[in-house]
Structure 1
């Protein structure tokens, strides 16, 4: 109730949660909750909402719409919108939002990306030919499955004649929220601890995205799809549709590493599980021996999908881990303990 009450005030589409809330209360009555308990719960939830909203209003997200429209840089090697829809860049000012754990978006910076170059013996061109091959003709059934499983692109489209139809997919963050739920259910975590773990994961994801987006729009690096078409093969298409924002660093690599570090703290390393989050979107489950193994696969999936360079992935992992470790240190300092 606190979640829906907050979301109804923060989201433009918040009213759509009214029916969800009614259905939830009906389910509570069916399993034995009395009207008195429900009324008390609603009152307590409203108190939580009143505490959260003033804090949320100061996070600076509501100022983003006041910034000038972002225009891609007209310089060689810089990001430019990609097909099929050539979307405007997503959240170019997200680095201005207040984080939860880290001090600022600039607290964890990466080394710069490999410099753009047209020279065929340059480090950049080697990165480019690598993703062109491994994200193209070098794909196997296994690497295709990995790329599809971790695609998580809510902006994906498909062509239907002269129309572009949106595909129903979850975001990378939502995928890891789903994994958190799977882990809590498998470990039979009680309600209070489950809420705590979800909260840490959600706020950790946010901080990781803020940090990553700070780098994306500082580096403004060209996507493999654009560079390959300009320098190697004008007809090349990566397996995955390229998301509408700069390449460096890989967001999925970044946030997956942060979240895996947090979940490993709570559940321990070598916590095996079956990830069925993507079943409802027509993809098979995948089994993992640990959260870190899952994060490694999520990271390399962007290379197989043809949407990221190797250095964008590898450095995304490094910074994501550092943020995760920082958050774990904060948890320990505040005596938030892992599961026994």
Structure 2
């Protein structure tokens, strides 16, 4: 009995000792958030729209994940859970000659540099990164071979990205909005044209098709003041009158409009912000740090969140341009109050369902699976834009707040939020099902 207890304690000690070693603070040159923030900064500069941003985050993370998987047998290969990913990921550099973690970060920057319109701006980040490695006394040969490994992997990711139909979008027919009735129409102050009306044609990562999770039909359009649709519109209108400060704060915190415009006389001023996907990538980065995950597991979490976002936008945009729903601003100005202006600027695409609701619930579901329920954290993603930070008791709580923020902001009807939440949760469930089948389990 005593011998058994001793063996158990020895095993427990070994496990704890390993965990402590595994959770040793990462050096500055292996901080993933620096690379992600650099890529996000270029996306903000380029005013990348939300669906496109999710695509860039996905490919930026795939190369890093591949390098981890090649060098860590516990990290499941992409081909085990992404059906379309069949490329051979072997590279010519011997494993012993390069640092795969350094290569992973350089690969993230290189992929962004090659894919983003203003990707050349990331050259400065790469130069600073190489200087940081030398400051940390990483040998010139390891740096050289790690960069070579990163470049090889980037080429493979770029090759894979070219098969997702993105390059065919510009050749499709331009979207012509239908004025009047229930249909979406461009909104003030810029009346921008519809964003990515053909996004449903992009190849998904983990879901089977863009129309796999079609939500229930939105509330039937009506101008009758006794109808459910009118009541929904009036509720948006009512909530916007003298809102409490907490609602204003919540609306601002989750605004995530890549390009909002404010007017002053004849002058228009544009404000650039992080996209909704960028916000959730930042949440994932905050979470992996709080969980003290090692580098490899951090890359795993960030990659899975990124590809979840990509699928969430494909699924959501499929429905947006099917139902082609009118925005509250258009309806309220025509049928309730011509002078009404929503608190947040209305984004340039149809109303139903709420993109924030779909994206946030899908991301929260996958993060909960990977890091656990009741994972409390403080989100400072919006501090650079003058809002926050805010603390949450769980990813689910954050998703719920993100969803309702669109109602507080006056840019979504309630059913777009309710059924957007459900759609996002269904997407998360499908993705989790595939992760389980690939034996990808909790990461902390």
- The interval holding the TM-score normalised by the smaller chain is over 0.9
Q: Is the Cα–Cα contact under 8 Å of residues 320 and 350 in structure 2 kept in the other structure?
A: yes
CA 138–126 in structure 1, closer or farther in 2 if over 3 Å, else same: farther
Q: What displacement does 1:165 show?
A: 1.3
Aligned residue in 1 for 2:423: 319
Q: Is the Cα–Cα contact under 8 Å of residues 301 and 443 in structure 2 kept in the other structure?
A: no
Q: What displacement does 1:168 show?
A: 2.4
1:14 to 109, 116, 119: 119
SS across alignment from 2:282: helix
1:127 to 232, 243, 255: 232
Gaps of 5+ in 1: none
Q: What displacement does 1:4 show?
A: 2.1
Mapped pair 1:54 → 2:168: no
Mapped pair 1:111 → 2:237: no
Aligned residue in 1 for 2:284: 180
Structure possessing the higher radius of gyration over alpha carbons: 2
Residues 13-56 of structure 1: CA distance to partner in whole angstroms, max 9, x if unpaired? Answer: 12111111111111122122221111111111112112112211
Q: Is the Cα–Cα contact under 8 Å of residues 168 and 281 in structure 1 kept in the other structure?
A: no
Q: Is the Cα–Cα contact under 8 Å of residues 266 and 338 in structure 1 kept in the other structure?
A: yes
Q: Which moved more, 1:146-155 or 1:66-75?
A: 66-75
Please give the alpha-carbon distance, in whole angstroms, between the structure 2 residues aligned to 1:42 and 1:337. 31
2:333 to 229, 232, 240: 229
SS across alignment from 1:156: strand
Q: Is the Cα–Cα contact under 8 Å of residues 155 and 243 in structure 1 kept in the other structure?
A: no
Mapped pair 1:242 → 2:346: yes
Moved over 6 A (4+): none
Gaps of 5+ in 2: 1-105
SS across alignment from 2:206: coil
Q: What displacement does 1:253 show?
A: 0.5
Q: Is the Cα–Cα contact under 8 Å of residues 360 and 424 in structure 2 kept in the other structure?
A: yes
Q: What does residue range 92-241 of structure 1 map to in structure 2 within 5 Å? A: 92-134=197-239, 136-241=240-345
Aligned residue in 2 for 1:268: 372
The two structures, once aligned, show a CA RMSD in angstroms of 1.0
Aligned residue in 1 for 2:18: none
Aligned residue in 1 for 2:142: 37
SS across alignment from 1:274: strand
Q: What displacement does 1:140 show?
A: 0.7
Residues 192-230 of structure 1: CA distance to partner in whole angstroms, max 9, x if unpaired? Answer: 111111110001000000000000001100000000000
SS across alignment from 2:378: strand
Q: Is the Cα–Cα contact under 8 Å of residues 238 and 305 in structure 1 kept in the other structure?
A: yes
Give the length in aligned residue pairs. Answer: 339
Aligned residue in 1 for 2:24: none
Residues 160-207 of structure 1: CA distance to partner in whole angstroms, max 9, x if unpaired? Answer: 332211112111110000000100111111111111111100010000
Q: Which moved more, 1:218-227 or 1:51-60?
A: 51-60
Q: What displacement does 1:257 show?
A: 0.1
Please give the alpha-carbon distance, in whole angstroms, between the structure 2 residues aligned to 1:11 and 1:277. 22
Aligned residue in 1 for 2:440: 336
